[in-house]
Structure 1
Amino acid sequence: MTLVYGFVKTRLTSEPRMKPSRHGHETQFHLHCNLDVGGAQWDVAINVGTNDSDDLLKYKLIFDFRHPLIQTLAAAESGAHELTGQKALPALDLLRRPDLLDNTGKWRDSDVMDGSGDAEPAATLKRLLSRAHQENRDVYIFGRFFDQGDGLHDVHLNQGSTKGFIHRPGDDSNDHNDVWQDGAVLVDLGEPEWAAYVSAFTQQLVPTDDLGNPLPDATTIS
């Protein structure tokens, strides 16, 4: 299937709320928010971790994000922006544009999720999104658009996965790896620096090839 990728420039119309979702042997947890996208109500599912200690997240929560990308995004019109097939900013590729994360500190390990709101990064990200909602701030969310309905998901690294996510040339029949389709959340808090959230599952391996599949010497992100 064709994976439609892009970002929305939006404002939140609800407080963030945690929801579990069963995936195979593990439960993944997402923060959901309602979004105003061109007058329509959208949903977003932002990955914040799992209950599986073998498949947690690597993440960064950055409160001093500085990059020329923010000027490009600030100048964009509100609404949905499709970036499918683009190979340059503002489409995101955390591996092919490593400068996006220059001087942003080390990747952190997520906590094992138990369904409460106390584990990280869920607790801090929830406070950030709540502030954006209460202060009516612009929020920029990158990910894949829902196949049915209005919304975004896969708000995380979208390459380097194995098994059923391998991308085979000419075969778009599965939810596969891709380059220049990484997810992220950026928030304009009215300051020179923005806040940003990026994440990857520990089972996603880097570096990747031109299809987004792990190279033979790939290891977990660090």
Structure 2
Amino acid sequence: MPLDSYGVLSGTLHRSFRDQPDTQGHWFHVNLEVDAPAGRYRCAVDVDGKQSTTGVQWKVFTLAASVLDPVPSLPPGYHELSMTSGSGALDYLRHPGLQHRPGCVFIVRPPAWLQDLLNRLNPPRPWISGSNLDAAEALEPILVPGREVMVFGEPFDNGLGMHNIHQNQGDPYGSQWWDENGTWQDGATLTRRPDGQYDVFLNKFSTQADVTGPDGHPV
């Protein structure tokens, strides 16, 4: 079954900070404090695959607000989203704005000269692998205090906060997260630039598949 609850928190970034080594436990997070009408939320962005230097993968890129409709027009606060296309929910593998090369589909491989031109006009977005510190350093430049922020994921059961801010599908059979696999429920961290576009940070774990079925399980 998918996550129990899924949505987006819209607010203003107060500050960000990393877990301390003596408090992080098995996982390492970059924490965001986000101000919204209900109060100050803590959003825990998981950037470490358990005790692994290469277990986490990420992408950082920029998107126009229109690609993310209807979410950018929502008022500040937490909003539950339907786990379906068109609701504003995110899916790393299905959302047209988040795919490896949005908008470019070929039946046959294009010639080298055309591929080079496409790479210049619309650069590929490969996953980057590294340590928890590498991932934190990639995320932190977009975490500018005072920026509007949108955080996709699952709300805390108690208190104001968000977790599961990462890909939430493709976990392998037998893992403790298999039952939480689902489509249109991926987490992400986005902050609004002065020009109105959004800086986007996507993160996943190396054990998660890049191709999934309608139930979010690997295929």
Query: Which bracket does the TM-score occupy, shorter chain normalised?
Result: 0.7 to 0.9
Distance in 2, Cα, partners of 1:71 & 1:96: 15
Unaligned segments of structure 1, at least 5 residues: 114-118, 168-175, 216-222
Match in the other structure for 2:128:
109
- Structure 2 residue identity aligned to 1:111: G
CA contact (8 A) 1:7 1:83 kept: yes
| CA-CA distance at 1:17 after TM superposition | 2.8
- The one of 196, 200, 205 aligned to 1:201: 205
RCO (CA 8 Å, sep 6+): is it higher in 1 or 2? 2
Distance in 1, Cα, partners of 2:16 & 2:65: 28
| CA-CA distance at 1:84 after TM superposition | 4.1
> SS where residue 121 of structure 1 aligns?
helix
Distance in 1, Cα, partners of 2:129 & 2:27: 12
- The one of 173, 185, 188 aligned to 1:184: 188
Rg larger in structure? 2
- 1:77-96 correspondence runs (5 A): 77-96=75-94
Distance in 1, Cα, partners of 2:171 & 2:98: 21
Change (3 A) 1:80 1:100: same
Provide the identity percentage. 28
Match in the other structure for 2:55:
56
- Structure 2 residue identity aligned to 1:202: S
With normalisation by structure 2, the TM-score equals 0.78
CA contact (8 A) 2:188 2:203 kept: yes
Unaligned segments of structure 2, at least 5 residues: 103-121
- The one of 142, 152, 158 aligned to 1:142: 152
Deviations 1:15-60 (A, max 9, x none): 33334533xxxx321101222122412110012224314x612210
Q: Which runs of 4+ in 1 moved over 6 A?
A: none
Deviations 1:152-175 (A, max 9, x none): 1111110000222223xxxxxxxx
With normalisation by structure 1, the TM-score equals 0.77
